[in-house]
C-alpha cells in the first residue's frame, strides 16, 4: 500500500568552516546564523509514501478530517472517514512511521563525514621561582587562543552501515504495514459498530410496529369481550402480549442508544452526538454471492494483508540486524583530518621571557581499526541476532495462519448470511400473511386468542430476524474485506 523512496547516495552537507567556528564562539548576529544546523529532513526520508487518514477520505473539502458535527443521518462513508481520521490507533501508528523514518535518516547519516570545531580562549599567568638562580625566575601573563577543526569519515566497514540502513528500512516498512493494519482494524470495527447501530435502529422501528400490532389485537379482543363473544381471559392475554411488546420496545430503544454512543466514540465524537444512521433496509440491494473461490481469496490475503507485510519486513529486519552485528566485529577504514591554529606564546628557554608566536598543525591520514579480542561478547551478540531471526520466522508463520483463519471464517460467515437474508425474506412474507389470516379468523370467531397471539409473535420475530440478517450480511462483507486487507466491501 505504501512505498519508501530513499536517495541512492547521500549528499554531503556544505558546511563553511569559518561559520562553524564563529557559531561556537559567539551568538552575535552574523551570516552564519542563517545556516540551520538541524534541517527538517535533509535526506527526504520523512516523505514515506504512507497515506495519512485524511488522504483515504473521499470528501472534496480542504480538510476532510476536521471534526465537525455529524449529519442527522450518518452514512457509512462518513462514519468510516471520521474514525480513520480521529481514532487513537491510527494516530499512534502514524507517529510510529515518523519515528522509524527518522531512524532511516540516522542510518543514512552514517555515510557522511563528521566535522567538529572547537575554539579555546585562555588567560594564562605563569610564575617560576628558582631561589638558587634568581635570574632564571620568571613571572609572565599571556592571552591566547587555539582553534581546531577535525574531520572523520568512515570509508569502509565491511557492510555494517549498509546492514544498519537495511535494518532501518525494513523496520520502516514494518511500521507502514502496521499503520495499514491499524486502518484495517479501525475500518472493520467501525463498519461492525455502524451496522450494529443500523440494526438497532430498525429493530426499534420493528418493535414499535409490533407494539402497534399488539395494540390492535388488544382492541379486537376487548371488542369481542365487550360484545360477549369472547371470554375476559382473551382480553387479559392480549393485554399481557401488549405489555410485553412495550417492554421489548423500551429495551430496543436502550440498545439503540448504546450502539449510537459506541459509533460516536469510533468517530471521535461525544457519545450523544450521533442521533441516527441509514436504515439497513434502505441500503439492501440484490444479494450477490462471492464469485471468487476460497483458494483465490487466500492467495490475495497472503499477498496484500498488511499484517503479513509487517511480519515479513520484521523478519528481513532481523536478518539485516544479524548481518550488522557480524560486520561490527570486522575492521574499519576511516579518513581523518585535523587543522589546528594557536597563538600561545613560546619561550626560548628557562628564564627567558615568552614571545608572541603563531603555530599551525595540519594532518590528513587513513586510520585502520582492527578489533582483535572482545571477550567473546560479539559471539553471543551474533547468536542472539540469529535467534531473533528464528523468532520473526515463527511470528510470520503465525501471522499467515491467523490471516488464513480470518479469511476462512469471514468467508463462511458471508455465505451463511447470504442464505439467511434469502430465508428471512420468505419468513417475513409468510409470517405477515399468517398474521393477516389469523387476525381475520379471530375477528370472525373461527380462531381463539392463542392462535392470534402465536402468529403475532411469529411476525414480531420474523421482523427482528430480517433486520438482523441484513445487518449481518453487510457486516460479513466488510469483515471479509478486512481479512483480505482491503478498505472496501467484498460485496
- What pLDDT is stored for residue 27 in this prediction? 36
Q: What CATH homologous superfamily does 17-56+69-111+165-327+388-484 map to?
A: Outer membrane efflux proteins (OEP) (1.20.1600.10)
Domain spans, the chain: 17-56+69-111+165-327+388-484, 113-156+331-370
**Helix 160-226 / helix 377-443 crossing angle, nearest 10 deg:** 20
Decide: helix, strand or coil at residue 207. helix
Whether 113-156+331-370 and 17-56+69-111+165-327+388-484 are alike in CATH topology: the answer is no
CA dihedral of residues 192, 197, 200, 205 (deg, nearest 10): -130
Indicate the pTM of the whole model: 0.76
Cell of 205: 422501528
Return d(Cα 269, Cα 200) in angstroms, integer. 19
Q: Identify the CA nearest to 162 among candidates 350, 354, 330.
A: 330
- What pLDDT is stored for residue 366 in this prediction? 95
DSSP letter string, 175-192: HHHHHHHHHHHHHHHHHH
Instruction: Identify the DSSP state of 52.
Output: P
- What pLDDT is stored for residue 126 in this prediction? 74
Beta carbons of 13 and 37 less than 8 angstroms apart = no
Cell of 376: 567473546
Instruction: Identify the DSSP state of 62.
Output: S
- What pLDDT is stored for residue 175 in this prediction? 94
Instruction: Identify the DSSP state of 13.
Output: P
**What are the C-alpha distances in Å from 464 to residues 344, 416, 431?**
95, 17, 12
Q: Cβ atoms within 10 A of the Cβ of 141, count?
A: 11
- For domain 113-156+331-370, the question of CATH label 2.20.200 is answered with yes
pLDDT (tens place) for every residue of the chain, 491 residues total: 333 332 323 333 333 333 333 333 333 333 443 456 677 778 888 776 555 554 544 444 455 566 666 778 899 989 999 999 888 899 899 999 999 999 999 999 999 999 999 998 888 777 777 787 776 666 777 788 899 999 999 999 999 999 999 999 999 999 999 999 999 999 999 999 999 999 999 999 999 999 998 998 899 889 888 888 778 888 899 899 999 999 999 999 999 999 999 999 999 889 989 999 998 765 555 666 777 889 999 999 999 999 999 999 999 999 999 999 999 999 999 999 999 998 888 766 665 667 778 888 899 999 999 999 988 999 999 999 999 999 999 999 999 999 999 999 999 999 999 999 989 999 999 999 999 998 888 888 888 888 888 999 999 999 999 999 999 999 999 999 999 998 877 76
- For the four alpha carbons of 458, 463, 468 and 469, in that order, the dihedral sign comes to positive
Per-residue model confidence as pLDDT tens digits over 47-100: 765 555 545 444 444 555 666 667 788 999 899 999 998 888 998 999 999 999
Per-residue model confidence as pLDDT tens digits over 109-160: 999 999 999 998 888 777 777 787 776 666 777 788 899 999 999 999 999 9
**Using only C-alpha atoms, what is the Rg of the chain?**
39
- What pLDDT is stored for residue 56 in this prediction? 46
- What pLDDT is stored for residue 136 in this prediction? 67
Beta carbons of 81 and 59 less than 8 angstroms apart = yes
Site of grid cell 379468523? 441
- What pLDDT is stored for residue 234 in this prediction? 86
Beta-bridge partner residues of 140: 126
**Helix 306-327 / helix 294-304 crossing angle, nearest 10 deg:** 40
- What pLDDT is stored for residue 68 in this prediction? 64
Angle (CA) 418-420-421 rounded to 5° is 65
Q: Identify the CA nearest to 70 among candidates 258, 265, 284, 280.
A: 265
- What pLDDT is stored for residue 24 in this prediction? 34
Instruction: Identify the DSSP state of 271.
Output: T
Site of grid cell 519515528? 99
- For the four alpha carbons of 380, 382, 384 and 386, in that order, the dihedral sign comes to negative
Return d(Cα 275, Cα 71) in angstroms, integer. 9
Q: Sheet harboring 138-156: ordered strands across?
A: 114-128, 138-156, 332-342, 359-369
Amino acid at each position: 500500500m505504501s512505498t519508501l523512496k530513499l536517495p541512492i547516495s547521500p549528499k554531503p552537507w556544505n558546511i563553511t568552516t569559518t561559520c562553524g567556528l564563529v557559531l561556537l564562539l559567539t551568538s552575535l548576529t552574523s551570516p552564519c546564523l542563517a545556516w540551520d544546523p538541524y534541517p527538517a529532513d535533509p535526506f527526504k526520508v520523512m516523505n514515506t509514501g504512507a497515506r495519512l487518514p485524511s488522504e483515504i477520505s473521499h470528501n472534496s473539502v480542504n480538510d476532510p478530517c476536521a471534526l465537525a458535527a455529524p449529519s442527522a443521518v450518518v452514512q457509512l462513508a462518513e462514519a468510516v472517514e471520521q474514525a480513520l481520521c480521529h481514532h487513537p490507533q491510527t494516530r499512534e501508528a502514524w507517529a510510529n512511521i515518523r519515528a522509524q523514518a527518522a531512524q532511516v535518516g540516522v542510518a543514512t547519516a552514517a555515510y557522511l563525514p563528521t566535522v567538529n570545531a572547537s575554539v579555546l580562549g585562555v588567560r594564562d599567568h605563569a610564575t617560576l621561582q628558582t631561589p638558587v638562580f634568581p635570574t632564571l625566575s620568571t613571572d609572565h601573563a599571556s592571552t591566547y587562543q587555539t582553534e581546531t577543526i577535525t574531520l572523520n569519515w568512515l570509508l569502509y566497514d565491511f557492510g555494517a552501515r549498509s546492514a544498519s540502513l537495511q535494518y532501518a528500512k525494513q523496520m520502516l516498512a514494518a511500521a507502514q504495514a502496521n499503520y495499514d493494519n491499524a486502518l484495517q482494524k479501525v475500518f472493520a470495527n467501525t463498519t461492525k459498530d455502524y451496522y450494529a447501530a443500523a440494526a438497532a435502529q430498525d429493530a426499534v422501528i420493528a418493535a414499535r410496529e409490533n407494539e402497534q400490532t399488539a395494540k390492535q389485537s388488544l382492541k379486537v379482543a376487548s371488542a369481542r369481550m365487550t360484545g360477549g363473544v369472547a371470554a375476559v381471559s382473551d382480553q387479559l392475554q392480549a393485554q399481557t402480549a401488549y405489555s410485553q411488546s412495550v417492554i421489548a420496545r423500551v429495551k430496543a430503544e436502550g440498545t439503540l442508544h448504546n450502539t449510537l454512543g459506541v459509533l460516536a466514540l469510533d468517530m471521535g465524537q461525544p457519545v450523544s452526538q450521533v442521533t441516527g444512521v441509514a436504515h439497513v433496509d434502505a441500503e439492501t440491494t440484490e444479494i450477490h454471492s462471492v464469485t471468487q473461490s476460497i483458494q483465490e481469496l487466500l492467495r490475495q490475503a497472503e499477498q496484500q494483508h498488511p499484517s503479513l507485510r509487517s511480519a515479513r519486513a520484521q523478519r528481513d529486519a532481523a536478518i539485516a540486524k544479524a548481518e550488522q552485528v557480524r560486520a561490527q566485529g570486522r575492521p574499519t577504514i576511516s579518513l581523518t583530518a585535523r587543522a589546528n591554529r594557536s597563538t600561545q606564546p613560546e619561550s626560548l628557554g628557562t628564564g627567558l621571557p615568552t614571545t608572541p608566536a603563531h603555530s599551525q598543525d595540519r594532518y590528513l591520514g587513513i586510520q585502520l581499526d582492527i578489533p582483535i579480542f572482545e571477550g567473546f561478547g560479539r559471539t553471543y551478540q551474533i547468536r542472539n541476532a540469529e535467534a531473533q531471526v528464528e523468532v520473526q520466522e515463527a511470528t510470520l508463520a503465525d501471522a499467515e495462519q491467523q490471516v488464513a483463519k480470518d479469511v476462512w471464517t469471514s468467508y463462511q460467515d458471508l455465505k451463511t448470511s447470504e442464505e439467511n437474508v434469502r430465508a428471512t425474506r420468505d419468513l417475513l412474507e409468510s409470517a405477515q400473511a399468517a398474521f393477516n389470516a389469523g387476525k381475520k379468523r379471530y375477528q370472525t370467531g373461527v380462531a381463539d386468542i392463542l392462535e392470534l397471539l402465536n402468529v403475532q409473535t411469529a411476525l414480531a420475530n420474523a421482523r427482528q430476524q430480517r433486520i438482523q440478517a441484513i445487518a449481518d450480511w453487510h457486516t460479513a462483507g466488510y469483515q471479509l474485506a478486512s481479512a483480505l486487507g482491503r478498505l472496501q466491501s467484498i460485496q
